[in-house]
Amino acid sequence: MLRRFLFVLVLFFAPLSAAAQDQAWVQIAARPTSSEAAELAAAYSGSLANVEGYALSSGWFAIALGPFERGEAESVLSRLINSGTVPGDAFVSDGGNYQARIWPVGAPVVAAAPTAPIEPAGPADETVQQAIASEALLNQSEKEELQIALRWAGFYNSGIDGSFGRGSRAAMEAWQIARGHEATGVLTTGQRAALLTEYNAVFEGLGLETVTDATAGVSVKIPLDIVAFEGYEPPFAKYAAANELAAQVLLISQRGDERRLQSLYDVLQTLTIVPRDGSRRIRGGSFEIEGRSDTVHTSVFARLEGDAIKGIALVWPAGDEERRSRLWTEMRTSFAATAGVLDPEMVALDESQSPDLVSGLEIRHPKSSASGFYIDASGAVLTTSAVTANCGALTIEGEVPMRLAHSDMGLGVAILIPTERQAPIASARFQTAVPKLGSEIAVAGYSYGGVLSMPTLSLGALSDLRGLNGEETVKRLKIAVQAGDAGGPVLDAGGAVLGMLLPRQSGGPQLPEDVNFALDTDALLPALSAAGIRAGTTARGGNLSAEELSRAAADITVLVGCWD
The model's pLDDT over 362-371, given as tens digits with 9 standing for 90+, comes to 777 788 999 9
- Which of the listed CATH numbers 2.60.120, 2.60.40, 3.40.50, 1.10.101 matches domain 128-203? 1.10.101
Q: What is the CATH number of domain 365-564?
A: 2.40.10.120
Q: What is the pLDDT of residue 57?
A: 66
pLDDT tens digits along 515-553: 999 999 999 999 999 889 999 999 998 899 988 999 999
The confidence band for 360, taking pLDDT boundaries of 50, 70 and 90, is low
Identify whether the C-beta of residue 51 lies closer than 8 Å to the C-beta of residue 105.
no
For the chain, what is the mean pLDDT? Answer: 84
The confidence band for 5, taking pLDDT boundaries of 50, 70 and 90, is very low
The confidence band for 554, taking pLDDT boundaries of 50, 70 and 90, is very high
The confidence band for 176, taking pLDDT boundaries of 50, 70 and 90, is very high
- C-alpha 63: how far from chain center: 28
- C-alpha 201: how far from chain center: 25
- C-alpha 37: how far from chain center: 30
Q: What is the pLDDT of residue 47?
A: 81
Q: What is the pLDDT of residue 91?
A: 83
- Which of the listed CATH numbers 3.40.50.10320, 3.30.200.20, 3.30.70.1070, 3.40.50.720 matches domain 12-103? 3.30.70.1070
Q: What is the pLDDT of residue 350?
A: 52
Structure-derived torsion over alpha carbons of residues 270, 273, 276, 279, reported in degrees to the nearest 10:
-110
CA-nearest of 322, 320, 238 to 273 is 238
pLDDT tens digits along 393-418: 899 987 789 999 999 999 999 999 99
Q: Which CATH superfamily is domain 208-346 in?
A: Mog1/PsbP, alpha/beta/alpha sandwich (3.40.1000.10)
Q: What is the C-alpha to C-alpha distance for residues 145 and 329, in angstroms, rounded to an integer? A: 12
Q: What is the pLDDT of residue 215?
A: 93
Is residue 214 predicted with pLDDT exceeding 90? yes
- Locate the domains of the chain by residue range: 12-103, 128-203, 208-346, 365-564
Q: What is the pLDDT of residue 7?
A: 29
Is residue 8 predicted with pLDDT exceeding 60? no
Identify whether the C-beta of residue 92 lies closer than 8 Å to the C-beta of residue 75.
no
Upstream peptide bond of 235 is cis (omega within 30 degrees of 0): yes
The confidence band for 45, taking pLDDT boundaries of 50, 70 and 90, is confident
Is residue 451 predicted with pLDDT exceeding 90? no
